Amino acid sequence: MSELIIRRAREADLPDLIAIFAADDKGGHGDTTDETAFEDYLRAFHMIDASGNEQLFAAELDGAIVGTFQILFNRTLTGRGSLSMIIEAVQTKPDMRGRGIGAQMIAYAIDEAKRRDCRLIQLTSNLARTDAHRFYERLGFTKSHAGFKMKLK
Protein backbone atom coordinates (compact mmCIF):
# COMPACT_ATOMS: atom_id res chain seq x y z
CA MET A 1 0.00 0.00 0.00
CA SER A 2 1.23 3.49 -0.76
CA GLU A 3 1.83 5.86 2.12
CA LEU A 4 -1.37 7.04 3.78
CA ILE A 5 -1.51 10.78 4.36
CA ILE A 6 -3.60 11.98 7.29
CA ARG A 7 -4.29 15.69 7.23
CA ARG A 8 -6.82 18.28 8.26
CA ALA A 9 -9.85 18.07 6.02
CA ARG A 10 -10.39 20.83 3.49
CA GLU A 11 -13.61 22.19 2.07
CA ALA A 12 -12.76 20.56 -1.26
CA ASP A 13 -12.84 17.16 0.50
CA LEU A 14 -16.49 17.49 1.47
CA PRO A 15 -18.01 15.53 -1.44
CA ASP A 16 -15.73 12.57 -0.69
CA LEU A 17 -16.31 12.75 3.07
CA ILE A 18 -20.07 12.99 2.61
CA ALA A 19 -20.01 9.98 0.27
CA ILE A 20 -18.17 7.95 2.93
CA PHE A 21 -20.77 8.87 5.56
CA ALA A 22 -23.67 8.22 3.17
CA ALA A 23 -22.31 4.73 2.43
CA ASP A 24 -22.57 3.81 6.12
CA ASP A 25 -25.39 1.28 6.39
CA LYS A 26 -25.24 0.92 10.18
CA GLY A 27 -24.86 4.46 11.49
CA GLY A 28 -28.39 5.66 10.98
CA HIS A 29 -27.26 9.27 10.82
CA GLY A 30 -29.28 10.13 7.72
CA ASP A 31 -26.24 11.19 5.72
CA THR A 32 -26.86 11.66 2.04
CA THR A 33 -25.11 12.74 -1.13
CA ASP A 34 -28.27 14.58 -2.20
CA GLU A 35 -27.01 17.99 -3.32
CA THR A 36 -29.81 19.75 -1.41
CA ALA A 37 -28.07 18.70 1.84
CA PHE A 38 -24.65 20.04 0.87
CA GLU A 39 -25.17 23.41 2.58
CA ASP A 40 -25.76 21.63 5.90
CA TYR A 41 -22.42 19.84 5.58
CA LEU A 42 -20.67 23.01 4.43
CA ARG A 43 -22.00 25.00 7.39
CA ALA A 44 -20.90 22.27 9.82
CA PHE A 45 -17.48 22.03 8.18
CA HIS A 46 -16.87 25.76 8.66
CA MET A 47 -17.91 25.59 12.32
CA ILE A 48 -15.63 22.62 12.97
CA ASP A 49 -12.76 24.21 11.06
CA ALA A 50 -13.07 27.46 13.04
CA SER A 51 -13.19 25.70 16.41
CA GLY A 52 -10.15 25.51 18.62
CA ASN A 53 -11.50 22.32 20.20
CA GLU A 54 -12.52 20.31 17.13
CA GLN A 55 -10.58 19.00 14.15
CA LEU A 56 -11.80 17.06 11.14
CA PHE A 57 -9.32 14.85 9.29
CA ALA A 58 -9.12 13.20 5.91
CA ALA A 59 -7.05 10.11 5.16
CA GLU A 60 -5.69 10.23 1.62
CA LEU A 61 -4.17 7.42 -0.39
CA ASP A 62 -2.82 7.97 -3.90
CA GLY A 63 -4.73 11.25 -4.10
CA ALA A 64 -8.09 9.74 -3.09
CA ILE A 65 -9.91 10.28 0.20
CA VAL A 66 -10.27 6.85 1.82
CA GLY A 67 -11.17 7.68 5.41
CA THR A 68 -12.06 10.33 7.92
CA PHE A 69 -12.39 11.01 11.63
CA GLN A 70 -13.00 13.91 13.93
CA ILE A 71 -11.45 14.71 17.29
CA LEU A 72 -12.83 16.95 20.00
CA PHE A 73 -11.12 18.18 23.14
CA ASN A 74 -13.05 18.47 26.37
CA ARG A 75 -11.77 19.92 29.63
CA THR A 76 -13.65 18.95 32.77
CA LEU A 77 -13.27 19.58 36.46
CA THR A 78 -13.15 15.84 37.05
CA GLY A 79 -9.72 14.35 36.84
CA ARG A 80 -8.33 17.53 38.43
CA GLY A 81 -9.25 19.67 35.46
CA SER A 82 -7.78 17.32 32.90
CA LEU A 83 -8.21 17.37 29.15
CA SER A 84 -9.85 14.49 27.31
CA MET A 85 -10.13 13.66 23.64
CA ILE A 86 -13.28 12.35 22.04
CA ILE A 87 -12.93 10.55 18.72
CA GLU A 88 -15.99 10.74 16.48
CA ALA A 89 -17.11 9.74 13.01
CA VAL A 90 -14.36 7.23 12.27
CA GLN A 91 -15.12 5.95 8.78
CA THR A 92 -13.19 4.20 6.05
CA LYS A 93 -14.50 3.73 2.53
CA PRO A 94 -16.19 0.33 2.43
CA ASP A 95 -13.91 -0.99 -0.33
CA MET A 96 -10.80 0.08 1.61
CA ARG A 97 -11.55 -1.62 4.94
CA GLY A 98 -9.13 -4.20 6.28
CA ARG A 99 -6.03 -2.41 4.94
CA GLY A 100 -4.89 -0.73 8.15
CA ILE A 101 -6.30 2.69 7.32
CA GLY A 102 -8.50 2.85 10.42
CA ALA A 103 -5.62 1.78 12.65
CA GLN A 104 -3.42 4.53 11.21
CA MET A 105 -6.16 7.12 11.73
CA ILE A 106 -6.62 6.07 15.36
CA ALA A 107 -2.83 6.04 15.93
CA TYR A 108 -2.74 9.61 14.59
CA ALA A 109 -5.49 10.63 17.02
CA ILE A 110 -3.70 8.94 19.93
CA ASP A 111 -0.47 10.77 19.09
CA GLU A 112 -2.37 14.07 19.05
CA ALA A 113 -3.93 13.28 22.44
CA LYS A 114 -0.50 12.58 23.88
CA ARG A 115 0.87 15.76 22.34
CA ARG A 116 -1.91 17.73 24.03
CA ASP A 117 -1.35 15.92 27.33
CA CYS A 118 -4.83 14.39 27.44
CA ARG A 119 -5.75 12.21 30.40
CA LEU A 120 -7.87 9.86 28.32
CA ILE A 121 -9.41 9.21 24.94
CA GLN A 122 -12.98 8.12 24.59
CA LEU A 123 -15.21 7.11 21.75
CA THR A 124 -18.57 5.51 21.23
CA SER A 125 -19.48 2.87 18.71
CA ASN A 126 -22.91 1.74 17.58
CA LEU A 127 -23.85 -1.54 19.28
CA ALA A 128 -24.44 -3.06 15.83
CA ARG A 129 -20.78 -2.55 14.89
CA THR A 130 -19.33 -5.68 16.44
CA ASP A 131 -16.39 -5.68 13.99
CA ALA A 132 -15.58 -2.10 15.02
CA HIS A 133 -15.69 -3.10 18.69
CA ARG A 134 -13.09 -5.82 18.10
CA PHE A 135 -11.02 -3.31 16.11
CA TYR A 136 -11.01 -0.76 18.96
CA GLU A 137 -10.23 -3.44 21.54
CA ARG A 138 -7.24 -4.60 19.44
CA LEU A 139 -6.00 -1.01 19.54
CA GLY A 140 -6.14 -0.90 23.34
CA PHE A 141 -9.57 0.57 24.05
CA THR A 142 -11.72 -1.08 26.71
CA LYS A 143 -15.49 -1.22 27.13
CA SER A 144 -15.62 0.62 30.43
CA HIS A 145 -18.87 2.60 30.35
CA ALA A 146 -22.42 2.32 29.06
CA GLY A 147 -23.41 5.13 26.73
CA PHE A 148 -26.80 6.77 26.43
CA LYS A 149 -28.26 8.96 23.71
CA MET A 150 -31.42 10.93 23.26
CA LYS A 151 -32.30 11.79 19.68
CA LEU A 152 -33.91 15.20 19.38
CA LYS A 153 -34.18 15.30 15.58
Residue 100 domain flag: yes
Residue 150 domain flag: no
Residue 144 domain flag: no
Residue 152 domain flag: no
Helix (H, G, I), strand (E, B) or coil at 101: helix
Report the C-alpha gap between 71 and 85 in whole angstroms: 7
Report the C-alpha gap between 66 and 104 in whole angstroms: 12
Residue 145 domain flag: no
pLDDT for the residue numbered 29? 76
Residue 147 domain flag: no
Counted domains in the chain: 1
pLDDT for the residue numbered 73? 98
Residue 151 domain flag: no
pLDDT for the residue numbered 147? 85
Query: How many residues in the chain?
Result: 153
pLDDT-based confidence at 28, cuts 50/70/90? low
pLDDT-based confidence at 1, cuts 50/70/90? low
pTM over 0.75: yes
Look up the CATH number of the domain holding residue 13: 3.40.630.30
Residue 153 domain flag: no
Direct distance between the N- and C-terminal alpha carbons of the chain, in angstroms, rounded to an integer: 41
pLDDT single digits (tens) 41-71:
999 999 999 999 999 999 999 999 999 999 9
* Domain limits for position 113: 5-138
